[in-house]
């Protein structure tokens, strides 16, 4: 089955700097890659997703890139702000409808003011 690895497990950046979180997946059939943000004590929130027919997607200060050949995808947050501090999870799933989302173990991002 699918296996998703996420790095780093913790990340500290200064406010205004960029943050990058990387994930690799094992199943070449996977074609949907969402990212979730979970603030302390709250539910995971879908912040951006990408499908395999697209190499990059942006939404304001966040962007996701996908390299299907290398089987890895990354989340980029620019101009970080203290409210970006949270745990971020990447995930991957296939296209058959019979493969559920498999999550990485999360990255705790701390933005230092």
Residues contributing to the site for another protein (CB under 8 A): 32, 34, 36, 42-46, 49, 89, 91, 93-106
Q: Which is nearer to another protein, 85 or 104 (CB)?
A: 104
Q: Which is nearer to another protein, 42 or 83 (CB)?
A: 42
Are residues 20 and 74 in contact, defined by beta-carbon separation less than 8 angstroms?
yes
| Rounded distance between C-alpha atoms, residue 50 and residue 63, angstroms | 10
Q: How far is the CB of 31 from another protein (least distance, A)?
A: 9
Residue closer to another protein, measured from CB, 106 or 111: 106
End-to-end CA separation in angstroms for the chain: 41
Nearer to another protein, 65 or 93 (CB): 93
Minimum separation from the CB atom of position 19 to another protein (A): 19
Closest separation in Å from C-beta 44 to another protein: 5
Q: Is the peptide bond before 8 cis (omega within 30 degrees of 0)?
A: yes
Helix (H, G, I), strand (E, B) or coil at 99: coil
Q: Is 66 exposed, middle or buried (0-12, 13-18, 19+ CB in 10 A)?
A: buried
Q: How far is the CB of 57 from another protein (least distance, A)?
A: 14
């Amino acid at each position: 089955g699918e296996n998703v690895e996420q790095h780093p497990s913790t990340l500290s950046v200064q406010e205004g700097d960029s943050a990058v979180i990387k994930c690799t997946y094992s199943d070449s059939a996977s074609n949907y890659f969402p990212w979730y943000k979970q603030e302390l004590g709250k539910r995971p929130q879908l912040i951006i997703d990408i499908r395999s027919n697209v190499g990059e997607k942006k939404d304001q200060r966040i962007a996701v890139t996908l390299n299907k050949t290398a089987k890895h995808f990354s989340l980029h947050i620019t101009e970080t702000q203290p409210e970006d501090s949270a745990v971020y999870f990447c995930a991957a799933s296939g296209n058959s409808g019979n493969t559920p989302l498999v999550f990485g173990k999360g990255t705790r991002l701390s933005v230092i003011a």
